[in-house]
Amino acid sequence: MKQIHNGLYKNWYQSRCTRSRESNPLDESNFITALERLGGESVYVKVHRYRHFAIGWYEIILVDNTHEKSVETLRQMEEDMDKYAVLDEHHHSKLENEEMLTAWAAITQEEREDLCKKHALDEDDSTQMAKNIEEIPDGIYPEHLIY
């Protein structure tokens, strides 16, 4: 938990959960989950949005240090992330799967067939599996797809 020492939000805490145009599913999931656990944007919880020349934009979560419940929630999330980087495994998996499905649908059928031949658990049916853009075959993982 980082404390801000100047400006309009002096003495507010900044969450380590941030997101940007470049965010991966883990960053996105942790940001959304943290904001939900803090009760969403309110008088005591702010999302600050910034433009950035290199990454386009980024957002941070700020918590008012005078609101004990929000500070304690933030402190607990920070401790949890010290032990395990994912705040909500189910939510993270859902976002990761959505991103994989988008990448799977974006590549050509020939590329999907090649991936199925190399990595799918059922290699015999690679042509048929590659035609289905709504389901990724068993054995194809995020590292096999470039997105």
- Note whether 6 and 62 are same-domain residues: yes
Same domain, 83 and 15: yes
pTM, to two decimals: 0.82
User: Looking at the structure, do residues 75 and 138 belong to the same domain, yes or no?
Assistant: no
Can you give the pLDDT at residue 118?
A: 87
Give pairs for 107-115: CB < 8 Å, separation 24+: 107/145, 115/140, 115/144, 115/145
Across the chain, the runs of DSSP E, i.e. the strands, are: 2-3, 13-20, 45-52, 56-63
* Whether residues 79 and 111 fall in one domain: no
pLDDT classification of 134: cutoffs 50, 70, 90: confident
Domain that holds residue 44: 2-87
Residues 61, 117 within the same domain: no
Q: 83 and 98, same structural domain?
A: no
Query: For 129-138, which contacts have Cβ atoms below 8 Å and span 24 or more sequence positions?
Result: 133/101, 133/104, 133/105, 134/101, 134/105, 136/100, 136/101, 136/104
Residue 24 sits in the same domain as residue 68: yes
Domain count, the chain: 2
Q: What is the rounded average pLDDT for all residues in the chain?
A: 90
Q: Which of 1-15, 60-74, 104-118 has the highest mean pLDDT?
A: 60-74
Indicate if 82 and 107 belong to the same structural domain.
Answer: no
Are 54 and 13 in a shared domain?
yes
* Residue 32 sits in the same domain as residue 79: yes
Q: Judge if 70 and 98 occupy the same domain.
A: no
